Structure 1
């Protein structure tokens, strides 16, 4: 079942037409929540009715208030809706596998906005987008750890990083220090200068440190997967957005001064040629560019942003300000480029970039950081307790034994039934963890973690998530209402599909019987044979008119008309040729029925009509109106079902509570 089916069900609810309920007064009691109505033995509360009634309304403004008639209509529809849901439950539709799977899928989507993880993730998304409003220019010194580094090695690298930071702050040139000490291979050429970049272009700890600095400041040693970094912020400025450029490339062979000089003269001549008023960029590019992938398309490159191309190219490209402006030749590792600015655009709105940002965040270390924060909040909120001694024992067993041997050893331990963790007072034993690991129905990525740690963390995460879900179901009114709305909507669809929609489609005998009992509803008005020509090209109007004006309606007139005109000019006009009801037709309703040939102009389009015989009003055949019969039969089945349900279920309405809601939502 798809979400559109749910909305189809709500449309049926909104447009169903049902007889007024006979209501019984219910005494208002002060004990606990007061129900709005009761169907059978089930109490239904006003907040559910208000939730459905408040779609696209707040009732805070006068324009949102509804009339008494609208209120009564919506209340009757709500009663009908809940009757159908009650019937679906009593028929066991909520227990069917298909429903369970469908509801579980919806539930997974519906709960996301309410989760702690979602709010933290939204915060990270917005933080990344806000950072993307700026670009920063930074230099760095990287100190890597030696292979198989121990704790002493790590401390030594950290001490060296601190010394270099101190040297830089005491006046030593930062870029000279980078050239001399950095383990980044590119530092020999760029002296640690990374150029400009923005959020999501560096590993997160590096990005976070760089964006927290002010120009001229040097960071404390920052650890990443590459080692320790000392970062100096050179500049910070607004993000210029993206640009689209084209280029002409002349490649240069390495370590060949003679060829280099010849290439330099060549690119200079190309640049001079481009300054001539009569020169055409695309022609020059096609003749001289050595970028085989773009030379035939004017040298056009994809949209580029700060940090997405090599710094030498980027610097020149982003300095171009006017569309069509051409740069002087610039050298990169690929050769010499002449760059032309084709277009530019600011950074896109958050709504357009949200999915891209989310995709990148979920793939970098921020996702681990978010999960750590989620776990910490959940542990605090849901009274998490851990048996640290047992966790350590299990960790040692799995570190020192083969996996299968470890499982066998744990199975034989007397403490296998002992509490390992507790969430909201619900204890989980060592055996629960072992069963969880053996079930192997979770995706667990080890990364740098050992086997046991990865599985144990996943076990804790799953149990904490389940606790959060139970807490939402018990305490979040908004989530409860949305969950119930979708659950009831799926049940409603299942019942309607079974008893109304699909039944009406498949019950051919029922269709015919309904048609025979309601023949008076299916009548033709006066009809006429008619050929209607709608002109597509007004230039052919006179020729078509001359052809038709002396013709009578005949079966072969359409073919003759097509052969005369459309073989040579298929778009000259379109044709309708059939038996039509005059009164309801947009063209024929404007003609006189005593003339064979007529011309009608509708919204600037010429229509020619050749009128044939009149067919008097009379009954339709079943085959001629089967689609409308099925539609009416579905409506009949729906009304019959509602009437039957109202006889089978006792409906009690609390008039006091209904009046309270009425005062909130109606125009007084």
Structure 2
């Protein structure tokens, strides 16, 4: 029977707690006619609980007092119009833009691109290419024509035509006439993303299928792949040549090399003998070497093999003459973690960003039920005034210019919108070859911009966490400005009040007796006495010869728990001190008796303490003037909920 009663009581207790448990919308407190509910309090409490160092502030009663003061300060700041200051509005605008950025990006795709780039940074590729030009916005028939030409060239190469000869014969890259299409070594971010991917994904010795970039179609032949080199500062010595058979130049570089071999410094040799007038006064310094940045034939392979500081190469011949290259400094490559933030920024700004943008376009068009009228888009081409493009003509409103090109949500994009956009940015569109391509490009760009604007304007509505973070950040800015203006600056100006605070609280600034030095602890009296004697006579002592229990060093106050109790401060260092079966040896470098510092000596600490007192008085005034109504039942339920958690 007793068990049944206990069980029944337990069930009734649970029912009562469930029946009266607070809801997020329940009012917790009303402060000066502003209502704050449970959800607001819990969100702040749970967000801050793990970063609160003072355990007492985790108690609901204590935190609730802080919460009320926080809200009162914010009310005061809004009443003073601090939220309307240009500085606050500008900082808030910048933060919102930064916070909104992640909502416009597919995070999984971004992570994939970052990891891909980090992995590619581990090695570099040596490749050549053949370019078949085709405009980025070419008609399908022209694109297909260029693709087929690239396939035909590839087939010729596979049948026996040397890739280098094919580059000279077919490539639309003008540099191929002199370099046979050779691009040397390159690593991540050095080429447009599609080309980079084509090169990294092609095996050594193979030729890629046509790779599309904004320049056209590329055929890529990969010759070699190698680990990325360390970061090198380099220098060189140059002896110019009339031609490759210049015997005098060859003798000069040989004599210079002998000087290095017998021990002359590279700096001195370069300074006196290099014929590069731009670098010889700096000992031949060329700065940090980046693969592909040095236009000296053969330099890449030579430098790759120089892998320690002060290493230098044998003389080699380039298009400029004879060189000797040297590594003047070398350090390890950055780790993936060190590169990550930089790569993240670069991905958002290079050609990879188009991949992220493509995902966004698809998402926004689905979200806003975007519908286009292809017929009206085609008719807009006839309305374009290409001859007046750079004069930015005004577009008149009439039935033709007001025809609808697209609809989304309850909005429309008209021909006038797109034409106005084109005439506002003429340089962006002047180079587009055909009117059809121009209107298509402008329509796509303008449509994406309008969809992004709509999406951006609705972020607070669609993403509550975004709205909360923004709100908290703005309140943080406002509160900081209030504290700075009304508390910190005001209290800092009142030097008389600070001096009075010092006089009334002198005991707080009393400097207790302390010493600077070392404390050695032994469990053997003989070792302690020997060690003390050696120190006293200023002998150099090898600590490893004495088995000590502990060694402490630094500044010590007399209440330090590491020191023996009831030490005589005046006799410190004169004798070995026995305490709890251990023997203490003191080496005193400096010591100070207990003393009272002057106001000027502790002025900064006094200011900090006075500002805290000033702020506490400010808080008390706010509380005393406020009308506060607490829903005690809801507060008690919160205490039951959270104080029990902290006990567990």
> Shared fold (TM-score greater than 0.5)?
yes
Name the counterpart of 1:298. 283
Structure 2 residue 411 is matched with structure 1 residue 427: yes
Q: Is 2:128–2:183's contact at 8 Å kept on the other side of the alignment? A: yes
TM-score, normalization by structure 2: 0.70
What is aligned with 2:50?
57
**1:214 is aligned to 2:203:** yes
Alpha-carbon shift at residue 270 of structure 1 (Å): 1.9
Q: 1:474 aligns with which of 434, 441, 461?
A: 461
Mapped to 2, the partners of 1:103 and 1:439 lie a distance apart of 32
Query: Is the 2:233–2:289 contact (alpha carbons within 8 Å) kept by the matching residues of 1?
Result: yes
Q: Alpha-carbon deviation of 1:69?
A: 5.6
Give the C-alpha shift of residue 346 in structure 1.
3.6
Structure 2: distance between partners of 1:624 and 1:187: 70
CA offset at residue 214 of structure 1?
1.9
**Counterparts of 1:467 and 1:421, CA distance in 2:** 15
* 2:99 counterpart (102, 110, 119): 110
Deviations 1:395-454 (A, max 9, x none): 4312468469997664132883x765444x2324549938985997x9994474577666
Determine which of 501, 504, 507 is the counterpart of 1:521: 504
Shift of residue 316 of structure 1? 0.7
CA distance in 1, matches of 2:604, 2:231: 59
Corresponding residue number in structure 2 for 1:159: 148
- Is contact 2:392–2:426 with CA below 8 Å preserved after alignment? no
Look up the match of 1:485: 472
**Deviations 1:147-205 (CA, angstroms, capped at 9, x unpaired):** x9998776554333211211222344323333443344444554333222111112232
- The partner residue of 2:638 within 658, 661, 665 is 658
Q: 1:71 to 1:215 in 2, by over 3 A?
A: farther
Distance 1:644 1:345, change over 3 A: same
Deviates more, 1:267-276 or 1:47-56: 47-56
Q: Secondary structure at the match of 2:302?
A: helix
Structure 1 residues 607 and 305, CA, compared in 2 at 3 Å: closer, same or farther? same
- Match of residue 127 from structure 2: 138
| Bigger shift: residues 30-39 or 307-316 | 30-39
Note the C-alpha offset of 1:486: 0.7
Contact 1:523/1:618 (8 A) holds in 2:
no
Q: Give the 3 Å change call, closer, same or farther, for CA 366–479 of structure 1 in structure 2.
A: same
Kindly tell me: are residues 74 and 130 of structure 1, through their superposed partners in 2, closer, same or farther at Cα, counting changes over 3 Å? farther
* CA positional deviation for 1:228: 3.1
Measure the CA separation in 2 of the matches of 1:333 and 1:94: 65
Match of 2:272 among 287, 309, 323: 287
Greater shift in the superposed pair: 624-633 or 183-192: 624-633
Aligned residue in 1 for 2:359: 373
**Relative contact order higher in (CA < 8 Å, ≥ 6 apart):** 1
CA contact (8 A) 1:68 1:666 kept: no
Task: Quote the Cα distance in structure 2 between the aligned partners of 1:96 and 1:439.
Answer: 36
Match of 1:264 in 2: 250
Paired position in structure 2 for 1:44: 37
Which region of structure 1 is more displaced relative to structure 2, 286-295 or 652-661? Answer: 652-661
Counterpart CA distance in 2 for 1:198 and 1:290 is 32
SS at match of 1:235: strand
Say which SS state the counterpart of residue 215 (structure 1) adopts.
coil
The aligned residue for residue 21 of structure 1 is: none
3-state SS in 1 of match to 2:50: coil
- In terms of mean alpha carbon deviation, does 175-184 or 452-461 score higher? 452-461
Q: CA deviation at 1:53?
A: 4.6
Q: Which deviates more from structure 2 when the two are superposed, residues 648-657 or residues 332-341?
A: 648-657
Structure 1, unmatched stretches of 5+, are: 1-24, 529-533, 535-589, 593-601
2:95 alignment partner, SS class: helix
Structure 2 Cα separation of the partners of residues 519 and 343 of structure 1:
56
1:635 equivalent to 2:621? Answer no
- Note the residue ranges of structure 2 that are not aligned, 5 or more in a row: 1-16, 517-567, 571-585
Local SS of the residue matching 1:327: coil
- 1:606-621 to structure 2, matched below 5 A, reads none
| SS of aligned partner of 1:168 | helix
Q: Distance in 2 between matches of 1:414 and 1:154?
A: 32
| Mapped contact 1:444–1:455 kept (Cα < 8 A) | no
Report the secondary structure of 2:298's partner residue: helix
Q: In the superposition, relative to structure 1, how do residues 128 and 402 fare at CA in structure 2: closer, same or farther (>3 Å)?
A: same
CA change 1:346–1:625 in 2 (3 A) is closer
Q: How many Å separate the matches in 1 of 2:440 and 2:640? A: 56
CA separation of 1:390/1:244 partners in 2, compared to 1, >3 Å: closer, same or farther?
A: same
Alignment of 1:175-254 (within 5 A): 175-253=164-242
Alpha-carbon distance change, 176 to 44 in structure 1, aligned in 2, over 3 angstroms: same
Mapped contact 1:51–1:481 kept (Cα < 8 A)? no
* Residue matched to 2:301: 315
Report matched runs for 1:534-573 at 5 Å. none
Q: For 1:308 and 1:649, locate their aligned partners in 2 and report how far apart those are by CA, in whole Å.
A: 69
Change (3 A) 1:272 1:652: same
- The 3 A distance-change label for structure 1 pair 90 and 456 is farther
Paired residues for 1:90-105 under 5 Å = 93-95=82-84, 99-105=88-94
2:328 paired residue number: 342
- Report if aligned partners of 1:524, 1:619 keep a CA contact under 8 Å in 2: no
Partner of 1:554: none
Q: CA RMSD in A?
A: 4.9
Q: Distance in 1 between matches of 2:139 and 2:375?
A: 26
Question: Can you list the C-alpha shifts for 1:592-637, whole angstroms capped at 9, x where unaligned?
Answer: 9xxxxxxxxx99766999xxxx99x9999xx999957963663254
Deviation at 1:233, TM superposition (A): 1.7
**Using a 3 Å threshold, how does the CA distance of structure 1 residues 249 and 50 change in structure 2: closer, same or farther?**
same
Q: Please say if 1:465 is aligned against 2:452.
A: yes
3-state DSSP class of the match of 1:240?
coil
Query: Residues 186 and 397 (structure 1 numbering): CA distance in 2 closer, same or farther, change over 3 Å?
Result: closer
Cα pair distance change 1:400/1:221, threshold 3 Å: same
Q: Is the 8 A contact 1:85 1:491 kept in 2?
A: yes
**How far apart, CA to CA, are the structure 1 residues paired with 2:405 and 2:259?**
78
1:377/1:656 CA distance change after superposition, 3 Å: farther
Q: How many Å apart are 1:46 and its aligned residue?
A: 3.8
* Residues 179 and 188, structure 1, Cα contact 8 Å, conserved in 2: yes
SS at match of 1:274: helix
Q: Is the 8 A contact 1:216 1:234 kept in 2?
A: yes
Seen in structure 2, the aligned counterparts of structure 1 residues 29 and 407 have a Cα distance that, compared at 3 Å, is farther
Where does residue 128 of structure 1 map in the other structure?
Answer: 117
Cα 1:393/1:524, change in 2 over 3 Å: same
Bigger mean CA deviation after superposition, 262-271 or 486-495: 486-495
Contact 1:28-1:34 at 8 Å conserved across structures? no
